[in-house]
């Protein structure tokens, strides 16, 4: 059962986040193809991953603050330790995704 759910999730993410570069040309005015190639390079991917990690860390801290404020008004509804553990687990998942992202080969065009 879990394999089916995981397989479905993988295909949903793939469909949503796999870009279609087949329609790109070097003449597009609204797109700097060289910037795209730079961002897709190993160095560009590393920089992007670092920015995402920093943003994720910040957003998790802000979410923790908001959770503390919200649940201070509603005691005993949720265990804040569990909420923090969930936040840490989410960060681990994102870090793994970013690690895989950085290992992808550079872009190639047909």
Q: In a 10 Å sphere around its CB, with 0-12 CB exposed, 13-18 middle and 19+ buried, how is residue 83 labelled?
A: middle
Give a yes or no: residue 109 inside a domain: no
Give a yes or no: residue 69 inside a domain: yes
pLDDT in tens for each of the 110 residues of the chain? 567 777 777 777 777 777 666 666 656 566 677 887 888 888 988 999 999 889 888 888 888 787 777 777 666 666 667 777 877 888 888 889 889 888 887 776 65
* Alpha carbon distance 96, 110 (integer Å): 29
Domain that holds residue 46: 2-102
Give a yes or no: residue 19 inside a domain: yes
Give a yes or no: residue 42 inside a domain: yes
CB of 83 within 8 A of CB of 64?
Answer: yes
This prediction has a pTM of 0.55
CB of 95 within 8 A of CB of 25?
Answer: no
């Amino acid at each position: 059962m879990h394999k089916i759910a995981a397989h479905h999730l993988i295909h949903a993410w793939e469909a949503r986040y796999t870009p279609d570069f087949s329609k790109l040309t070097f003449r597009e005015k609204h797109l700097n193809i060289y910037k795209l190639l730079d961002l897709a390079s190993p160095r560009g991917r590393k920089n992007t991953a670092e920015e995402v990690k920093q943003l994720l860390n910040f957003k998790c801290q802000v979410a923790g603050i908001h959770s503390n404020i919200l649940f201070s008004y509603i005691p005993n509804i949720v265990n804040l330790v569990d909420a923090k553990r969930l936040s840490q687990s989410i960060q681990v998942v994102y870090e793994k995704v970013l690690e895989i992202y950085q290992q992808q080969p550079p872009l190639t065009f047909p």
